[in-house]
Amino acid sequence: MRFGENVRSIINKMNAPSAIRISGSVRLRRPAIDLRLVGYLSILAFACFNLLYLLITPFDLAPDEAHYWDWSRHLDWGYYSKGPVVAWLIALSCEWFGTHPLSIRLPAVACNTLMLIALFELAIRVFRSVRMALLSLLTIMIMPALAAGAILMTIDAPFLCCWSWALLFVHRAIFNQEFRSWIFAGVIIAIGILTKYTMAAFPILTALYLVLGAVPQVQGYRKGLIWMVVVGSLGWVPIILWNVQHDWLSFRHLFGQAGLATGPKIGFKWNGPLDYLGGQFALLAGYWFCAFAAAAWQNRQTRNVNRSFLWWFSVPLILVLIPISLRVKVQPNWPAAAYLTGFLLAVHWIGTQLKSESVRYRKLVQALLILGIAVSIILSTFTRFPGLLLPVFNRMVPEPSADRLAPVRNLDPTARLRGWKFLAEKVDEIRESVRNENGEDPLIATMTWSVPGELGFYCAGRPSVYTFGPALNDRLSQYDIWRPNPISDAQVFKTRTFVYVGEKIPEHLGAFERCDGPIRVEYRENGVTVGGWKIWIARGFRGFASTRSRGHQF
């Protein structure tokens, strides 16, 4: 017997139940290794690793994280672009553990851990094999996208957690005929809708699976499905009430994001699908996207109820965004929920290919799998420790200039998470100089919605920070809803001095008596400019003469 066969035999013996004879009878005993326990220990180890990483992370708060933290200072039933759950979780964590980056991100680690538990249990049910479920779990853990999603407190952390648990409850409801699981799924859907509106697609996909994807033995689901939809729809109540009071802003923003509105940024993009699918290819390290695509094609007409379940909760979410990409740019994270079941489908497909009768083909599949795992681990490492690739990126971009202060940001997506604390320190120095000059405590404003949260968090005293976005052709944001603000309530801010971060305010708007600057701020790591901003001292606020149709783009 060859060495490889010996190894395979040993592994099979580890996973197979063994038997002992006692008093003439044969009793089965559990495997030498409890793979379910190994799975849960892996999840616990991953959570501990993420917590330890957050203690040493080189990243400042991401703009989205800082934005949602700012929401948590103004708790409400809804917000301009999302539901309230992300703000509630951050507020609760900060109340318990204090206000600092670690406490803001703790809910992300918790949500990620709960998500992995749900997916592990779902994989056990779908594959009817703890070993396959464990392999799927470990595969998900090495994904580069998860490296960021496991530690950054954006809406995707609680949303994907809700989606995973809804999947598990619906699977139990269908295949175990558990009516209460329909109710539990409805509760999870309601929470998910309060997190991200995409959760509304879940009942639709459930109905599509039951009507089009399941074999005839899946029956008796109508009552449970109706109750799930009714309970889940309760999540819309706070959101609708908030929108009634705010001119339906959330839904208008949603229609704009989906390309169903009009505006200068919305047209017809022939290369949209290629850009969208190329982004997904890069996000999944190439190999896993190809494995998912192959699995989706192979199982498009499967009569296996479990693989059909995985198919219907993944592939439609990918396909529906293709026509949308013809109108607007699809962000890489939009179809994230599709890959929760998509990864399981891909792992099953890889497993079937490894059983091919062709030795040559089997070796090719093994080589590609090893390469895919290696690339994923390398990318995950670089995602968590971006300084390793910074010198490489710096050689690939032009030198910084007055118009492009930090060109490396075009290649390094993690650059958006660095330099904010440094910028806030410079803003504080300028605030202090203005205060010493005329005794006035200047206000802070920015050009876009993504910066106020950063300055509000890192500047001394955590001040309120405003945005001039609607007057400068940027879209509306939550900052334009909170009152007072310089755009809607100019009289409140008359004659005030602003420390302004952004491009120069056009002279024809006549908003200030004068603007001094710019003061250019560069944040450098190891000699490389990672972030760059322009700061102005805008004196004597007079109000913007007219915002006309500015800011009403969604």
Residue 394 tokens read as 């710096």
Give the pLDDT of residue 495.
94
| Average pLDDT, integer, range 203-226 | 84
pLDDT at 550: 43
Q: At residue 5, does pLDDT exceed 60? A: no
CA–CA dist 134, 117 (Å, integer): 11
Q: Which amino acid is at 36?
A: R
**Is a pLDDT exceeding 90 seen at residue 331?**
no
Residue 454 has pLDDT above 60, yes or no: yes
CA–CA gap between residue 194 and residue 538 (Å, rounded): 39
* 290: phi then psi, degrees, rounded to nearest 5: -65, -40
| Among the listed residues 207, 203, 111, the one whose alpha carbon sits nearest the alpha carbon of residue 159 | 111
Task: Please determine, for residue 84, whether its predicted confidence score (pLDDT) is greater than 60.
Answer: yes
pLDDT of residue 186: 97
Mean pLDDT for 92-110 is 96
Tell me the pLDDT tens digit for each residue of 114-133: 999 999 999 999 999 999 99
**Helix H or strand E encompassing 114:** helix 101-127
How far is C-alpha 185 from the chain's CA centre? Answer: 22
pLDDT digits (tens, 9 = 90+) for 500-518: 999 888 887 889 999 998 9
Does residue 56 carry a pLDDT above 60? yes
Query: In this predicted structure, which of 22-26, 78-82, 192-196 has the lowest mean pLDDT?
Result: 22-26
d(CA 54, CA 31): 37
Which of 8-22, 88-102, 154-168, 451-465 shows the lowest per-residue confidence on average (mean pLDDT)? Answer: 8-22
What mean pLDDT comes out for the span 367-382?
Answer: 89
Q: Contact at 8 Å (CB) between 321 and 330?
A: yes
CA distance 335 to 205: 14
Both tokens of residue 516?
Answer: 């001094």
Question: Which whole number is the average pLDDT over 19-47?
Answer: 68
b/e for 403-436, b at 16 or more Cβ within 10 A?
eebbbbbeebebbbbbbbebbbebbbebbeebee
**What is the average pLDDT across 368-382?**
89
| Single-letter amino acid code for the residue at 355 | K
Residues 203-223 as b/e (b if ≥16 CB within 10 A, e otherwise) read bebbbebbeebbeeebeebee
pLDDT of residue 269: 78
C-alpha triplet 19, 20, 21: angle, nearest 5°: 130
CB 537 within 8 A of CB 499: yes
Q: pTM of the prediction?
A: 0.89
Check residue 289 and give its pLDDT: 93
Q: What percent of the chain has pLDDT over 90?
A: 63
Q: Give the CA-trace dihedral at 236, 241, 242, 247, to 10 degrees.
A: 110
| CB within 8 Å of 47: residues ≥ 6 apart | 109, 112, 113
Residue 440 main-chain phi, psi, to 5 deg: -95, 135
Once rounded to an integer, what is the mean pLDDT over residues 482-508? 92
